[in-house]
Amino acid sequence: RRVILSGIQPTGIPHLGNYLGALSNWVKLQKSAEPEDKLLFSIVGWHALTLPQEPAALLAARNDMLAVLLAIGIDPNRSILFHQDHNPHHTELSWILSCITPMGKLRRMTTWKVRSSKCSINSVLMFLKSRLAVARNSGSEDEVDESMLNAGLFMYPVLQAADVLVYKATHVPVGDDQQQHIELTRDLADIFNRTFKGTSPLFPLPTYVNTPSKRILSLKDPTSKMSKSSPDVQSRILLTDIASQIQSKIRAAVTDSIQGITYDPQGRPGTSNLLTILAACTDSDVTQVAKAYESQGHGTLKRDVAEAVEEFLKGPRAQFDRIRHETSYLDEVARRGATRAIEHSEVTMMEVKTRLGLASPV
């Protein structure tokens, strides 16, 4: 029996990267799962707090994300759909795991490096500037840079490991930017199993499940991934974008001045990104799509990409517009999801505490 778990942060309406790189795979897995497979999909509010959030916006984003997941086809009767922050077992296990996590492993996480620089830009730029001036004088920029970032950002992958392990998940479908976190989760499960031996290992080592379309890149800077937090709204297509917005964003996408169309992610990242998007939205193979456009120009490619994206998004967009206002239905889904999630994690936490020597009656 598989236990499939994944999560998304309530940090805004998902973009095409989230959808193609992760969410569409959740729906496919839900369709192809065996009846005995368990599926859990979580909106990870605690992870969102690792970057500054405006409380009212966060509240709205949590609600919108739930509506999005229902709109794209997550079925709350088949899957356990819940808010991470409704289940305190995640943070409880996260603390326990942090006590067996080597700091060096966390420092090596690429997301830490990327997010920490993003965090500096977004939230502490002014502060950073003044501190960097001090640092430059003292000659230790790196040290001061890190000392100003919040510890939650550093601990992000440990909380993610807890999300997975608290349900003893065996399969984790996430975008390829998250693969390293799943490797860390396996390491932590293994460290726990070896340190706190029982009759059998407590945690299964989860497998990372990749999507065929992998990483979608920014439309404005195709050397970096499409991202919710990029300040340039033209760099991403949101699930709620209407046809004219999709067209103008694709038309303005950065490509190159080479004649003809070829799929060459290293040499032609912008053009290749458009081919990846087109292939993913039409469920085709990217090399075949590239072949079909070999002798075409960027104008034709962009027109067709925009059409394919609109066709791909219009169904979920219409569903979202309907569901997001059904407040009592959304509350009911969240409540039921939380109850079902806690039922599962409770069992794991009892086992964890017993192994740790923390299970005495209160």
For ligand AQP, the binding residues (CB under 6 A) are 8-9, 11, 17-18, 21-22, 174-175, 177-178, 215-216, 225-229
DSSP state of 215: P
Q: How far is the CB of 137 from ligand AQP (least distance, A)?
A: 32
Rounded to whole angstroms, the Cα distance separating 291 from 298 reads 14
- Give the residue carrying structure tokens 């569409």: 24
Q: How far is the CB of 200 from ligand AQP (least distance, A)?
A: 30
Q: How far is the CB of 61 from ligand AQP (least distance, A)?
A: 10
- Give the residue carrying structure tokens 């059998």: 200
Nearer to ligand AQP, 2 or 228 (CB): 228
- The residue length of the chain stands at 362
Rounded to whole angstroms, the Cα distance separating 156 from 154 reads 6
Nearer to ligand AQP, 228 or 303 (CB): 228
Q: How far is the CB of 144 from ligand AQP (least distance, A)?
A: 24
Nearer to ligand AQP, 226 or 330 (CB): 226
Exposed, middle or buried, 102 (CB in 10 Å: 0-12/13-18/19+)? exposed
Q: How far is the CB of 262 from ligand AQP (least distance, A)?
A: 21
Nearer to ligand AQP, 11 or 98 (CB): 11
Helix runs in 210-285, H state only: 243-251, 269-281
Q: Packing angle between helix 269-281 and helix 298-323, nearest 10 degrees?
A: 50
Query: What is the SS3 assignment for 225?
Result: strand
Residues 11/46, Cβ–Cβ less than 8 Å: no
Nearer to ligand AQP, 170 or 349 (CB): 170
Q: How far is the CB of 26 from ligand AQP (least distance, A)?
A: 9
Q: How far is the CB of 44 from ligand AQP (least distance, A)?
A: 7
Residues 91/46, Cβ–Cβ less than 8 Å: yes
Q: What angle do CA 338, 326, 43 make, to 5 degrees?
A: 35
Q: Which residues on neighbouring strands pair with residue 58, listed in sequence order?
A: none
In the complex, residue closest to ligand AQP by CB: 21
Nearer to ligand AQP, 157 or 337 (CB): 157
